Amino acid sequence: EERRRREEREERREADRLEREERERIRNEVAEAAERRREHDIKESRELREVQQRSDAAREASLAMDREENRRRYEERLAMERAEARERHEQLMLMLSKQNKD
């Protein structure tokens, strides 16, 4: 009887030990999976941030080019308007000088 109880206790201890080991194995697997997910999320976030930074830089470069083009056009238009004003002034001066001669 004592021997049977001892064997049952040993069997329960062994079953408990196996159950604890299984729970620990599962807990470790879950923790490892969570760590892999976390690392994946960090990597994905970093990649998205880099893509966004490249996109922002490209947009900023495009805006800078647009501003430069607009400035160039403005300068060209201003130079043309000055030349036209100078020409009108010269024509007016010629006309006035002709009127004064008559």
Q: Per residue of the chain (102 residues), give pLDDT as tens.
A: 899 999 999 999 999 999 999 999 999 999 999 999 999 999 999 999 999 999 999 999 999 999 999 999 999 999 999 999 999 999 999 999 999 887
Rounded to whole angstroms, how far apart are CA atoms 18 and 24? 10
What's the number of domains the chain is made of?
Answer: 1
Helix (H, G, I), strand (E, B) or coil at 1: coil
Determine the structural domain holding residue 42 and report its residue range: 1-101
Whether pTM > 0.85 for this model: the answer is no
